[in-house]
Structure formats: C-alpha cells, structure tokens
Amino acid sequence: MKKIDLANSSIRELNQALHAQQASLTEKEWSVANPKGEHNIAVGLDADLHVDIHGHAGYFCAGMNKTASVTVHGNAGQGLAENMMSGVVRVKGDASQAAGATAQGGLLVIEGNAGARCGISMKGVDIVVKGSVGHMSCFMGQSGSLVVCGDAGEALGDSLYEVHIYVKGEVKSLGADCIQKEMRPEHLEELSGLLAKAGVDEDPAAFKRYGSARQLYTFKVDNASAY
Amino acid sequence: MCGIVGLYLKNDKYESKLGELFEPMLIAMTDRGPDSAGFAIYGDDVAEDWVKLTLRHPSDAFNWATFTDQLATALGCEADWMQNANVAVLKVKASESTVRDWIASNAEDVLVLSAGQSIEILKEVGLPENIASKFNLSGMKGSHIIGHTRMATESAVTMEGSHPFSTGSDLCLVHNGSLSNHNRLRDKLKREGITFETENDSEVAAGYLTWRLNNGDTLQGALENALKDLDGFFTFTIGTKDGFAVMRDPIACKPAVLAETEDYVAMASEYQALASLPGIENAKVWEPEPATFYIWERK
C-alpha cells in the first residue's frame, strides 16, 4: 500500500501520483493521511485504484472520478464526487452541499447526512444516503437513482426529468412537477439492488417512490413545433 | 467570497492561548479573502461603570497619552489607554455616549471601532497574516473571538469597509455573502437615525441589527427580523459579550462549518480553518441548517 501524508505532500503531488497510475497500474491501494479539509483531493482519477482518505476532506473530493474507489473516513465538503463518471465514492461521515452534482455514473454512498442540493442535475449516478438530504436535492435530476434512508428537505426533485427517488423518512416538500408514485415490483427490485450494492441494511418496502409528473414545458409534445 | 472564523471557549482552559489558537484559523481563510481582515476579541472586561473603546487614528505616531489626558480632564473622570500599532484601547469611567460625544467634537481624526465592556475590534486592509502580525494576535488572551477575511464585492477595499462591524455595545457582525437590497434599506435606516461610514452592504446588515436591538428586539428577534428584511446571501456570525451566534440565509449557499468539543465551539467558512484546533479529530463537526439561529453564551 502506498501511503501519502498531506502534512508533507501537496495535493498537486498526490493527484499527479494517482493520475500516473492511468498509464501503468503499479500500485492499487492508496492511503492518504492528514487531509485537514483540503480541496480537490483525489480528483480526476482514471484507473482501478482504491484510495482511503483518513480525516475530513474539503471541496470537490473525488470529482470526475472514473473506475476508482475512493473512501473518505470523515466528512466531505461541497461538490463531493461532482461529475463522477464511474467507480465508487463512499463517505463515512456527512457530505456538504451539491454531493454528486451532475454525476454521470458510478455509485456514491454517504453514510451520514448530505447537505442541500444533493444530486443536483445528476445524469446517471446512483446515490445512496444513509441519513437525510437537504433542500433542493435532485434539482433537475436527469437520470440515475437517489435513495434516502432518512428525511428529505424542501423542494425535493424540483423540475425532475427521469431520476428515480426513494425516500424512507419524511419529505418536507416536493419541488415543482415532482410527485409520489406507485412502488411497483420492478422498483422494489431496483431499490433492493441499490441498498445491497451500497451495503445498507434497510427494508425496501419501507420506502416511498417519487418521480417526475412530466407536466412541465419540456414534456409537452406541442412545444416541439417551436424548433 | 469571504472567510469567517470564530472561536468561543466554554471554559478557561485555553483563555491564555485564544489568540494563538485563532491566528492560524484566520490565516487559513486567506484564499477566501485576501483584501482585508479583522477580528473582534472579548476579554479583559472593565467594571460596570466603565466603558472600553477601540480607537483608530490614521497615524502610528498619534499621541494617545495627550489625547487620554485631555479627555480625562474634560470629562473629570479616570481614564486609561494602551496602544497597539495605530489603534488604542481606551478605558474610561464614564458613559459610552459621553465619551463618543467628546471624541466627535474634539478629535475628528479618531475613529471609534468598537465600544462596550469587553469587545475590542481590530481590522485593516491587507493579507490576514499581516494584520495578525501587526496587532500581535497570537499573544492575545480572552474568552471568545470572531474574525473575517474579505474579498470585496459590493464596496471598495478600505479599512472602513472591512469587518467586523460594530452593531452596538459589545456586539459586532461579520458577513459572508452579498445583500441585494442594501441601498434602499440604508436609506430607510438613515431616516431612523442610524449612521453609516461606507457604501458597504454588510455595514447595512450591522446597522439593521443595531436598529432592531435599539427598538427592543432580543438578538434572536433581531436576526429573525433580518431573515424577513434582508434580501441576498449571507452567513452571519455575531459576537456578543458572552459568546457568539451564527445564522445562514434560507438558501444557504454561503458555507459554514461548526465544531464542538467539551472545551470550545468553533465556526469557520471551511473545515480547513478548524483543522489546527486541539482535539478537532474527535470534535462533533456539522453544518448549520439554513435560516436557523445558533447561539453559544457563557452563563
């Protein structure tokens, strides 16, 4: 295992060393000490790496992640795993706002709570939050799934496209065009798979499903004549 | 962008090291605010019938001894002073308004940065590390302290436009964000008798709180009214005689992190400003909720 102590190395050095593994994979396991809330830790990875960050991470941790598996043993700041493409990002503590923003694939697991705008404009990622999510989560979410084992804040799923949202607890309010939907067998199956993948022990039957009512401008076929 | 930091001690364990613990917190927020910096420190309280003021003169060579002698003779009361760079802490056995009136009529170059029993506000244009070193922050003692690093948006980079802003006796405000209705609100507050030194939006927030508190609001009441009347983005930290309060606007896009141990509560715009605190590894760390008032005060 390769150990990097951020008390002695810069973020630039760490990320450069991780990026170098893309050309030839010589070291799969990485351990990062003393993150001390620094920004941009383990950003832009593109190799089959396992990175463990021991402490709290700052903004944009594991952003644009591809293939790699990144675990934060602490909290993460804003923009965790933003625009992730694939792989797994896991946070043992809480994540600040805009976790998984615009992420296109992979799995994001937040074992604590997520702040506001979790999964904003998500485009295919699966996000599983063991705690609660803040306001405006999944705003304009396009595809993928958001699973919340706790509660959701105000305006969940505002202007939603095709994301599947599952919430076990209370939803403070639904955003524009987001509605509760019937939980059919295929949804229970999808949710069971997501919980299993995330290693979260919850009963899928205890969740409610939310999705787009498809009533906003974009969904009206008559508006196609504008082009 | 701006940076906010605060450190409130729950007991006397770190009182003699308050400045030493706080200096790296302020400097860690340089990336968020390299234009100017300042802090309000609480401690070294004066007796009930005394008032403590932090005063600033543009020149380091200003003769504070003569100034204090003249003031004490004119008001017929005891007075004491201590110089720190171009700022002096003045202690007078008189009422705040008497001292302010005398300064306004007799020393127009002297600016009152703060007044109260406990508060001292020190602020200046420049990098946080330069301000910390100019005022010897690391050697300061006290019970709590809040600070600000400014990246200017709504008004010029000046000492007057830097934070903290005094909002009344022993009260001050630091702000990260920008207010969009500050011009109209400033006009309204001017008609209510509140005076302003700058075109700064945060000074309007400070003036607003002063106005609400003068009208009998509690601090919590004043902040709840601020949520209704201030339009824009904000994370506020407010220093009080006995502690500090934190509040974010309902949208909460300006960051804030809190940390608590058995010895202190600390607040910062970003976690990295808290990383140097003792015992932070095992502290409870969380983000304050939108539109929610938090306060910690020693009883």
Nearest CA in chain B to A113: B286
pLDDT for res A222: 85
Does residue A226 carry a pLDDT above 90? no
Q: Has residue A123 got a pLDDT over 90?
A: yes
Q: Which of B233, B249, B287 to mutate to test the interface with A (most CBs of A within 10 A)?
A: B287
Domains and CATH numbers, chain B: 2-45+125-297 (3.60.20.10), 47-117 (3.30.70.260)
| Residues of B with catalytic roles | 2
Asked if A52 contacts A32 with a C-beta cutoff of 8 angstroms, the reply is yes
Contacts of B104 (CB under 8 A, 6+ apart): none
Which residue of B31, B260, B271 to mutate against A (max A Cβ within 10 Å)? B271
Given a cut of 90, whether residue A210 has pLDDT beyond it is: yes
Q: Where in the sequence is the domain holding A27, given as residue range(s)?
A: 2-226
- Do the Cβ atoms of B287 and A135 come within 8 Å? no
Residue A186's pLDDT is: 98
Contact B287 A37 (CB under 8 A): no
The separation between the first and the last C-alpha atoms of chain A, rounded to the nearest angstrom, is 56
* Nearest C-alpha in A relative to B271: A37
Q: What is the mean pLDDT of residues A176-199?
A: 98
Q: What is the pTM (predicted TM-score) of this model?
A: 0.92
Quick check: B272 and A37 CB within 8 A? yes
CB contact under 8 A, B272 and A116: no
Q: Give the domain CATH number at A169.
A: 2.160.20.60
Q: Sorting pLDDT into bands at 50, 70 and 90, what band is A227?
A: confident
Helices B201-214 and B182-191 pack at an angle, to 10 degrees, of 40
Interface of A with B in 172-201 (CB under 8 A): none
3-class SS at B65?
A: helix
Predicted confidence (pLDDT) per residue in B130-148, tens digit: 999 999 999 999 999 999 9
- Chain B residues with CB under 8 Å of a chain A CB are 252-253, 255, 270-275, 281, 285-287, 290
Quickly state the pLDDT bin for B77 (edges 50, 70, 90).
Answer: very high
Tokens encoding A89: 């990002």
> Is B9 in contact with B108 (CB distance < 8 Å)?
no
Give me the interface pTM, i.e. the ipTM: 0.90
* A37–chain B Cβ distance below 8 A for any pair: yes
| Residue B118, pLDDT score | 97
Question: Nearest CA of chain B to the CA of A35: how many Å?
Answer: 9
Percent of chain B whose predicted confidence (pLDDT) is above 90 = 90
- Contact check, Cβ <8 Å, B290/A38: no
Question: What angle is formed at CA B250 by the lines to CA A155 and CA B235, rounded to 5 degrees?
Answer: 145
Q: Domain count for chain A, please give it.
A: 1
